[in-house]
Structure 1
Amino acid sequence: MDIDTTLSPVLPGKILFPNSEHYDTSNNSYFTLFENDLRPAAIAQPTKNAEVHTLLKILKPLAEKHQIQVAVRGTGHTPIAGSANTADGVTIDLRGLKGIRLSEDKSLVEIGVGETWGSVYEELEKHGLTTAGGRVGRVGVGGLVLGGGLSLYSTRRGFACDSVTEFEVVLASGEVVRASQDENAGLWRALKGGLNNFGIVTSFKMRTFASGDIWGGIAYYMPDTFGDLVKATVDFVDNESDEDTHIMSSAGYGFGHQVVTCCMYQTKGVENAASLQRFTSLPSQIKEHGSLRSSTHIDFCNELSKFTKDGVRSFYATLTIRPDVSLMLAVHQAWQGTLDSLKDAEGFIFSLGFFPLTKALLQNSQDAGGNAIDIDPNDGPLLIVLINPTWDSPSDDERIYAGVESLLGKCRAIASAKELLHRYIFTNYAYFKDDVFRGYSDSSLAVLRKTSKEFDSHGFFQNVVSGGFKLCTSG
């Protein structure tokens, strides 16, 4: 098949081919080098949903006959090779689908999937508003919402996807539909955490609310404070009732040194609120490096953006546990052992994070209409554990993947032995070999499969579109 003669006439000027500057710029702009290394035969760059419709009408029959592979890219923050790019096929790049539009009463914002959370917050702040989207400003909006996502406001408002009131979706047939609680409700719920198994989301609407100053930032501590931080974190998730607080507790290694951190936020702007004093009063705080202050939502999300950059060798792995001090210390000890075996890798950076899913977060998620994730609030509180290596040399790829995969297995075994391992796998951080849908409830998984048959009867997005975690392979 001649892709040039097939696609160029219907999207003139919006199809990029190898050996051109624009192609190279686009293809080298993913978060990880693993995605950059894939070289599609063409990159399609639609700027409106009608063009996505046209692309699917042309590519679907060809892909189903195995004449072409298709991948769909949002802003490209997934670290997994092949999740948002394809070798020798056609990558549909959605970054041109821009737009941030407030409803007349300003209670909702419609967001094009080509935006980042930073661009959304920047526009909303002009109106004294914000929304419960991603915590890192440079991350794209679409993939985070389809995976569930967490927000600085999650304790009160649930997962980021729980603030979505409507999706605009291009189905495999090319039909453009709306999905909300009142229209195509099954699809609406499935897209909230169901990933790229149902269609191409081109825009979505989210609830807005007044934005005021937030108090918080990042506190740094000496490495020997980790045990105290773990105790404070468990106390927070077990006992804290302030739904306007959000924390992330971590241990990290980089540039030959270890450090312990806590990112903390009181979203009503209460300075050193009682809910956070268990963290601000910890010993061995390195105050000259800390950033605790009063500031705006966009400022804090831009601060977190500085900890990542594009074009790196990096990936995520995760598990979910019930909060327990001895378990968290055992996980940290296993992480230390892996660190000792890998820290001689060139440019090696390694982090271990604990991110709360409080009972309030899970209850507020359910009260917002539910989602594909379907965690019973009675399962809470929980902690998402994030393992994240970054390094420089391809010669270290094999041993770092093997080391972290072994660590992930050890952590799950430790948690399972203590009967503290939860089924959920946070999809935004999932390791590429994980079966994330086995972490969803049986009833939710059955509904997702039913919804897929209703809206994508031939399984185009599961069997033909590459990348991501697929319903059809779960179990």
Structure 2
Amino acid sequence: MASPGSDPVQLLDALTTVLGDDPKALSQRGSDEYDKANGSYFSAFENEVKPLYIAKPATVEQVQRLVEALRPHVIAGSCRIAIRGEGHAPFAGSANVQDGVTIDMRRLKGITLSADRSTVEIAVGETWTTVYTELEKHGLTVAGARVGGIGVAGFILGVVLHGHDAMPSADSDFPSYTTHAGGLSMFSTRTGFACDSVVEFKVVLASGQLVRASADENADLWIALRGGLNNFGIVTSITMTTFKAGDIWGGITYYLPGAFPQLLRAVCDFVHNEDDQDVHVMCGTGYGFGHQAASCCMYHTAGKVNAPSLQRFTAVQPQIEPMGTMRTATHLEFCDEMGKYSTNGLRQFWATLTIKPDVALMEMFHDEWQKTLDSIKDAEGFIVSFVYHPLTKALLENSAKAGGNAMDIPPADGPLFVVMLRPTWTRAEDDERIFAAVEALVETLKRLAAERGLLHRYIFTNYGYPKHNVMAGYGDRSLARLAATSEKYDPEGIFQKGVPGGFKLP
């Protein structure tokens, strides 16, 4: 959406007052720096949005001064702002803004261990690869993303959407179908959502003031930022709990398509009956390059080789054994592996819903998915993943013990599955029919689940679709709390009205 009545000269004056005319700090249309920065998003849809200016602060003080300089323009309705981290949200306008100002946070760097090494402060310009690389020097890690190239802030706040393309391996025609959910880590069964490991945020408010948010200081803001998206300010750093980094056993196992019903039964058995909290799994099926396959990403974070808790998945047949990657490796190595399945610049989006486990329902979902696939798989470069991410009761219980978050899912509601659909394709001419087909499929799946009393209110924001009322999925109690927090810290609604990207509070 364009910024109404934006005055480019006034905006440029405001920006240069803060950043000067260094192209590394401030770029505008027609420059190589602008084209490089604006063409580096994960999604083609974001690359196609053209802001007037891209501001790239290198210090927290510059972020504060930018907010102060742009604030009167936002209040006057003459400027809109986007906040960009690594830029993995796929929808146009999520982290970019047409004819406005995009604040690119990638120059804010720094990874600082506390004196006792129990926590680490991470600047929002870092990626999880840089975080894990630094922490592993000290034998430590954190419950961050499963793909290293993702930015820190968007993943924690719930803004980032990211997954993996179904790309063939070097020695097989079958595609791999793996994906991850922002806010879920390999350690989530034991630690809860990734945001539950955050003990402090530093955030620039709409006034330009820098504040800390923790359990002891601005606790309401701390809870809101744990999954509450970009509704409250600009986060400049997060501090997370660290723990010892040991070997992990796991990887990706691939199966012929006929094995998928077995996988559904196995993952439902897992969420209902498994009490091993060192296990993380996600199961899916997908299509690419004329082939279908099923997959299971599984990890035992205590390093047990083929642990009994995983044998329900490793025993499923028939497997595509040459493609399997099961082994013992480090957290960083597994995240690097997941990152290899990701490709920037494609046309892509995600859609999601949350259900209670039920094999019969999930088999119906699969039938509906196959019908939709048949209608759109002829699109050029078309690849699609259809994946189940378990939210076990242990995950939800451990999340609640960590102090709470914006999602506010009662542990008694578990176990649950976050269902994710993710198509990618290459031609703009196919946009309309693919969007329409997948939107219709999601509505069908929601109806089937609702009719059986198995649809849950929660909509996983990292996979949320703009046409869905994502924030309503947080529940009335959480929404009321988030609205009160927004009014307290941003009474003029700068981050509601002036930052249109992301899912906004009603």
The TM tier, using the shorter chain, reads over 0.9
Alignment of 1:135 with 2:146, yes or no, is yes
Structure 1 residue aligned with 2:78: 67
Pairing of 1:21-420 with structure 2 (within 5 A): 21-147=32-158, 149-420=183-454
1:276-310 per-position Cα deviation (integer Å, ceiling 9, x unaligned): 00000011011110000000001111111111111
Q: Is the 8 A contact 2:79 2:498 kept in 1?
A: no
TM-score (norm 1): 0.98
Q: Distance in 1 between matches of 2:91 and 2:497?
A: 18
Q: Distance in 2 between matches of 1:340 and 1:268?
A: 41
Q: Distance in 1 between matches of 2:373 and 2:341?
A: 19
Q: Distance in 2 between matches of 1:312 and 1:344?
A: 16
One-letter amino acid of the counterpart of residue 134, structure 1: A
Where do 5+ consecutive residues of structure 2 fail to align?
1-6, 159-181
1:83-130 per-position Cα deviation (integer Å, ceiling 9, x unaligned): 110111110001111111110111001011111111111111111000
Q: Per-residue deviation at 1:6?
A: 2.5
1:415-444 per-position Cα deviation (integer Å, ceiling 9, x unaligned): 111110000000000112111111112111
Pairing of 1:394-473 with structure 2 (within 5 A): 394-472=428-506
Q: Distance in 1 between matches of 2:471 and 2:49?
A: 26
SS in 1 for 2:19: coil
TM-score (norm 2): 0.92
One-letter amino acid of the counterpart of residue 295, structure 2: T
1:319-340 per-position Cα deviation (integer Å, ceiling 9, x unaligned): 0000000011111111111100
Superposed structure 1 runs of 4+ greater than 4 Å apart: none
Q: Is the 8 A contact 2:198 2:238 kept in 1?
A: yes
Structure 1 residue aligned with 2:13: 5
Q: Per-residue deviation at 1:445?
A: 1.0
Q: Distance in 1 between matches of 2:492 and 2:63?
A: 19
Q: Distance in 2 between matches of 1:437 and 1:163?
A: 22
Structure 2 residue aligned with 1:15: 26
Q: Distance in 1 between matches of 2:349 and 2:335?
A: 21
Aligned length: 472
SS in 2 for 1:8: helix
Q: Per-residue deviation at 1:5?
A: 2.6
1:10-31 per-position Cα deviation (integer Å, ceiling 9, x unaligned): 2121111111111100000001
Where do 5+ consecutive residues of structure 1 fail to align?
none
Q: Per-residue deviation at 1:63?
A: 1.4
Q: Per-residue deviation at 1:48?
A: 1.2
SS in 2 for 1:337: helix
Q: Distance in 1 between matches of 2:491 and 2:57?
A: 25
Q: Per-residue deviation at 1:159?
A: 0.1
- More displaced, 62-71 or 124-133? 62-71
Q: Distance in 1 between matches of 2:408 and 2:475?
A: 6
SS in 2 for 1:31: coil
Q: Distance in 2 between matches of 1:112 and 1:332?
A: 41
One-letter amino acid of the counterpart of residue 120, structure 2: V
CA RMSD across the alignment: 0.8
Q: Is the 8 A contact 2:63 2:204 kept in 1?
A: yes
1:122-146 per-position Cα deviation (integer Å, ceiling 9, x unaligned): 1111110000011111111111100
